[in-house]
Amino acid sequence: MSTTHDNKASSRPALDAAAAAVGGAVEAAVGASVEAPVDVIYRAPLWLPNSHIQTIVPALFGRRPAVAYRRERWNTPDGDFIDLDWLVRDPLTASGADSNAPLFVLFHGLEGSSDSHYARTLMAAAQMRGWHGVVPHFRSCSGPMNLLPRFYHLADSNEVDWVLRRLRERHDGPIVAAGVSLGGNVLLRWLGERREDASIISAAAAISAPLDVHAGGRALSQGFGMIYTRSFLKTLKLKAQQKLAQYPGLFDMNDVLASRTMHEFDNVVTAPLHGFRNADDYWTRATTRPLLPEIAVPTLVLNARNDPFLPGAVLPSRSEVSSMVELDQPEHGGHVGFMTGPFPGRIDWLSRRVFGYLDPFTQHG
């Protein structure tokens, strides 16, 4: 389906060995930990010395804030459904969001959900600001299997367009959107394709989006990258089995089970189910870097240069993007990591960075 990373890895046996190694490294280095400054520049603490530890520790061990959700189901125009999880006001806080407060929309990563570590952190930050918040789930990611012979993918901008326009019809206040990994890629594609027509939102942020899907796919098909790939394929293959039970003959399950890389899985499942010729065609058309010059809405594009899912060498320069795009490419942070502070660390730098960028564009009281 895509090349993204998500907190659901915490329940996957494929990461057990990596988690054990990370735990050992954390214990060995904790004495040298220092807290990164609380500012816009990300600096990794010394006890998180490399890209994999910076990626895995926040996902597996980050302390997620408690947030309450209310689920709403929308029927899609093509006869399917999606589930959206809305922030519920905490009765212990002073007040909830008023009707005209900003709405923060978060598009999750591959096999992600409203329960992902980054989703809970960002939604808690929205709630503290008195904002509304919602996590629309991509099809098959909210729990129950979706109905149609399809899933979701890196280029699914029509879905984002439908969701955001429906939210715009319902919400009177400003709307801002963020996407993480796969969700960030789809959001950027929508922004680049729609240009000025995307101004139904006030601003956007894309976090650890795989801007060059081919480069990201290669990174995940070799060395330590295969640890992440195996964890993704474990749940993706289970979903493929469920989909095949719904639609016998939709694809060859033997080929699915034989898939060892994301390219192989995408070639058998994602590409044919969503109208692409093959995985190469899908990855080419899903690559968002060429669309960055077309973006007309203020947009933060945040990518760590040591992201194990996307080589730093393929990140765009200032001259390669629209004047409406702000690039943030810290040397460290991993993939959707950005943990700070002494052991056991905090995962709130990301929310401070994202909302620090979005705040000026909401014009709320």
Closest CA to 190 of 85, 296, 270: 296
Q: Which of 2, 157, 181, 322 is catalytic?
A: 181
Q: Which of 156, 202, 335, 351 is catalytic?
A: 335
- pLDDT value for 270: 98
**Residue 12: inside a domain:** yes
Band of pLDDT at residue 98, cut at 50, 70 and 90: confident
Range list of β-strands (E), 18-91: 69-75, 81-87
Rg (CA), the chain: 19
The number of domains in the chain is: 1
Domain hosting 178: range is 7-361
**Residue 288: inside a domain:** yes
Reduce the DSSP state of residue 237 to 3 states and report it: helix
Band of pLDDT at residue 10, cut at 50, 70 and 90: very low
**Residue 272: inside a domain:** yes
Q: Is 307 annotated as catalytic?
A: yes
Q: In the Cβ-directed half-sphere of 83, how many Cα atoms lie within 13 Å?
A: 15
Polymer length in residues for the chain: 365
**Residue 324: inside a domain:** yes
**Residue 2: inside a domain:** no
**pTM score:** 0.88
Q: Which of 307, 322, 332, 351 is catalytic?
A: 307
Q: In this model, does residue 318 exceed pLDDT 80?
A: yes
CA distance 150 to 154: 13
| Dihedral pair phi/psi, residue 151, rounded to 5° | -125, -115
Give the CATH number for residue 356: 3.40.50.1820
Partners of 143 in the β-ladder: none
**Residue 1: inside a domain:** no
Q: Which two tokens stand for residue 183?
A: 């969700």
Band of pLDDT at residue 97, cut at 50, 70 and 90: low
Band of pLDDT at residue 363, cut at 50, 70 and 90: confident
Reduce the DSSP state of residue 256 to 3 states and report it: helix
- pLDDT value for 25: 41
- pLDDT value for 64: 86
Summarised one tens digit per residue, pLDDT across range 261-296 is: 999 999 999 999 999 999 999 999 999 999 999 999
Summarised one tens digit per residue, pLDDT across range 229-267 is: 999 999 999 999 999 999 999 999 999 999 999 999 999
- Measured on CA atoms in the order 248, 262, 334, 208, is the torsion positive or negative? negative
Q: Is 181 annotated as catalytic?
A: yes
Helices (H) then strands (E): counts for the chain: 12, 8
Q: Is 259 annotated as catalytic?
A: no
Q: If you search the block for the tokens 């998180």, which residue do you land on?
A: 48
Q: What per-residue string of b and e applies to 96-122 under the rule 16 or more CB within 10 Å gives b?
A: ebeeebbbbbbbbbbbbbbbbbbbbbb
Spatial CB neighbours of 359, under 8 Å, sequence gap ≥ 6: none
| Dihedral pair phi/psi, residue 346, rounded to 5° | -125, 155
Average pLDDT over residues 328-337: 97
Percent of the chain beyond pLDDT 70?
A: 87
Q: In this model, does residue 30 exceed pLDDT 50?
A: no
Average pLDDT over residues 127-148: 97
CA distance 270 to 217: 14
